[in-house]
Amino acid sequence: MIADRNRIYDGFVSLEAGVDAGRAPVLIDPNQAASAENITFRGGRPNPRPGFRQLTEFFTNPEHGFDSQGVEFPEGSIVPGNLTAQYCYQNDVFQTILGYSPHNGEDCLMALIGGRLFKIVPMVNSAKVTEITVTDPNSPYLRSAGHPPPPVPGTYPPPPNDDFANQQFLTDPNGRVDGTCVGATTEAGEPPGTNTVWYRWVGLTTGTRQYFSVNQPGWTVDVYTGAAVNALTLVATAIAPIQVSFIQNAGTSYRVRVRPPNSGAAAEFTLKWNAGTPVELNYPAPYRNYRWSPIAFMVQADKFLIAQDGISKAIIFDGKVARRSNLEGMPDTLEVPTGTMMAYGMGRLVVVVNERDVAFGDLYGSHLDKQTDPADSIILFTERTFLAGGFDAAIPFQQGVATGIQFFPQLDTSTGNGQLLVFAERGAASFNLAIDRLLWQTSQFQILALLTTGLRGHRSVSAVNEDMWFRSDDGFRSFRQARSDSWGWAHIPLSTNVEQFINADDGMLLKFCSSIYFDNRIIATCSPVWNARTGTDLQPSLRGRVYHQGMVVVDFDVLSSFGTKYKPTWEGHWTIGNEFQSSLPDIKIAQLVTANIEGVTRAFAFGMKESRDGAGRVTYQNQLYELSFEDRDDFSGAIPWEIVTRAFDFKGGNQGTNQFTENELYDGDIWISEISQGGIAPETQTT
Amino acid sequence: MHSLKVFFRPDNYPSWVLWKDFPNKFSLIGQPQGLQAGGLPSARPGFAPRVPLGKPPNACDPISTSRRLRRGYHFQVKFVGQGHMMIEMFRLHAQRLVEKSRSIETPR
């Protein structure tokens, strides 16, 4: 399914143009045919590109869900269709994905989609998806306690307040009452609903808002006025846990009806009401992150997976239980601060907060005897009140906001004299962490390591062969090349060969770029598309999110011959959509990611799959794909590709040094090898 | 079967000129998906050494310069293919022309 568009070889290594440097110049009659010395390029030995395979997801808790406020429904309760785990995974806005290897657990991918945390265990042709509940003892969301057990099957008499005429009177401005819908009926003339029971409450203070709620999620509380069951006027209605509220009139009788979503759900319940403020419920409820953030960040710090979207409290997952970061209490209980990009190295978790501040966690926490596992100290952020007497590190204003953060081996001083690099829009800062804690407190930790070649995509960093490649404003750059190659034109991006595919990229969307190192290639996304439409005519998975139309690829195999050192070669532009050839399926890539699954490095692309219904309408669903070695010949058609050479000018060699010689092209030869199965024509394969 | 098209253009000419088309020219050695004793695949990667492209067409640029397009000072080549193959080597043959001391003015 991967199409190659414009592999461009311009004489770096793989396809050398000009006179073959290994031969002595041969003088021949300039009017004779030029010999093989004239123009030759030699193909490198690039590996076949990996194939692309769709992994079929299956869900272990597909019905798990959250309500429209982001509060979790209890397991086993009824969830409106759009809020189930499976629906969210397939249709909500993708935010981030990361490979995660917990201690004593399954290697997996972790993803934030629609503000919800998913664990994805890739198999051979499928993937097991589980939604993980993130607990939070300090949740701002409350849920009433307890869910009465369903009644034993049988016939039950109707409750006393089954009929409108037998409404139960509620007298206080605030209060609670226990009730049941078991055995309740629907009266003739009553507004639609099953197993309904009735209450009556009289307004006390004109102008005050009155709240009602029931402790059964998915149940409805209706408030009416009117004296007869067939002549009611609806005042307000809401499905729990959303509270129904209305402005009361003193002396008005309000008829409060409680009903389950269907007769099979009839059970006992507790109705609460309150004047002025919402009903106070008893339980903290888990909640999901903000649903519409188009980007979020993850990192694995020792045994933990940390997820951030810059808005919600950080999620800390240890492979079994996910919880929110504890930001309450004394400094020694201060955990991962809310932020965005993160890096983990040298026993420290580092978080970018407030766009340009850098907060450090520290192994110092392990001395506090509060942890049973020393790894637990990694998520303690003791440094926030330690550096310079109580501050985070801050990158200089002139560098702009932070755009990426990465631990990188300290190779030489050209890459800065620290191990942590924090990139910004217009430069990078280097932090030396290998110093004593007391020195660290007062260290001059900021060293400007790089100017003017700003990194744009935190996810775009790929550390390869003593260097870091990343997406910058104007293309792809390598950190060491920019730093070390000071005698040359270091500020030319390395990606000029593929500039036609990346120069038009929207600068605002570069932070969504991701890259992976896989199969001795750097594969990076390009051509991002932002769909800012929030109208209801568009399905949720397409609203307000970013996807990529292609990938640009650097191939290191082309040049890797023993004993020589050449520069890598851009392999060109890969597409997996129908941009290149209309017969290919339309697949849009959100993020590339690698993961070590059971000891095997596997590469994945999380994206969207196009499908069409019978009427030809297009829908997209989130879908996990794998780039795999086994699928090199991965679709039933031949892989399309293009190569564009640089311009040959016939200079040198037998033509002297004058490059301005006019020539008449009269022949060419090409040597081809490795003609392999990727190119079986569809008709051949189906017969 | 694999296909290959070769295009060229001289001196930044904005369009590509089709030089040679090899429809379904290149293939594996053996039968794809065919098995031999022991279930081993019988197909081997194919090869095609020194495939000549032949003389380029006598196309000309009719609009701006009226030049024959296989004459030029530098040439660029584009390969468009279907199916996995590796281009090992490639070379162009050209005949050096004796230039006049002054160019002919580009017709308007």
pLDDT for A635 beyond 90: no
Residues A164-284, CATH architecture:
Sandwich (2.60)
Strand order in the sheet with A640-645: A7-9, A640-645, B75-82, B2-10, B17-26
Distance from CA of A491 to the nearest CA of B (A): 26
Per-residue DSSP letters for A39-68?
EEEE---PPPPPEEEEPEEEESSTT-BB-T
Residues A327-337 have pLDDT tens digits of: 765 555 578 99
Inter-chain contact B82–A43, Cβ cutoff 8 Å?
no
Range from A596-610, A624-638, B35-49 that averages highest in pLDDT: A596-610
Q: What per-residue confidence (pLDDT) applies to A19?
A: 29
In whole angstroms, how far apart are CA A117 and each of A3, A42, A130, A435, A459? 33, 49, 9, 36, 19
Q: Which residues of A touch B81 (CB under 8 A)?
A: 640-643
pTM above 0.80, yes or no: no
Q: Over 60: is that where the pLDDT of A240 sits? A: yes
Q: The dihedral of CA A544, A545, A550, A556: what is its sign?
A: positive
Q: How far apart are the first and last CA of chain B?
A: 46
Q: Which residue of B has its CA nearest to A50?
A: B84
Tokens of A291: 């649903």
How far does Cα A287 stand from its chain's mean position?
A: 18
> What is the distance in angstroms between the Cα of A498 and the nearest Cα belonging to chain B?
15
Measured CA to CA, the distance from residue A157 to residue A453 in angstroms comes to: 77
ipTM above 0.95, yes or no: no
Neighbours of A485 (CB within 10 A): 14
pLDDT of residue A605: 92
Q: Map out the domains of chain A as residue ranges.
A: 164-284
Percent of chain A with pLDDT over 90: 28
CB-CB neighbors (< 8 A) of B51 in chain A: 669-672
- All residues of chain B having their beta carbon less than 8 Å from the beta carbon of residue A15 are 87, 90
Q: How far is B38 from chain A (nearest CA, A)?
A: 20
Mutation to test the B interface, candidates A670, A674, A684, most B Cβ within 10 Å = A670
Q: What pLDDT is recorded for position A89? A: 94
* Residues in chain B, total: 108
In whole angstroms, give the CA distance from residue A338 to residue A289. Answer: 12
What residue in B sits closest to A35 (Cα-Cα)? B93
Q: Does A40 sit within 8 Å of B91, measured CB to CB?
A: yes
Of A128-137, A301-310, A376-385, A514-523, the poorest mean pLDDT is in A376-385
Residue A684 has pLDDT above 80, yes or no: no
HEC string of A352-420 equals: EECCCEEEECCHHHHHHCCCCCHHHHHHCCHHHHCHHHCCCEECCHHHCCEEEEEECCCCCHHHCCCCE
Determine, for residues B95 and A663 on separate chains, whether the beta-carbon distance falls below 8 Å: yes
The confidence band for A59, taking pLDDT boundaries of 50, 70 and 90, is very high
For the segment A216-243, the average pLDDT, to the nearest whole number, is 88
Task: Count interface pairs A-B at CB distance under 8 A.
Answer: 229
- Residues A407 and A428: their CA atoms lie apart, in Å, by 12
Specify the range with the lowest mean pLDDT, choosing from A280-289, A346-355, A538-547, A604-613.
A538-547
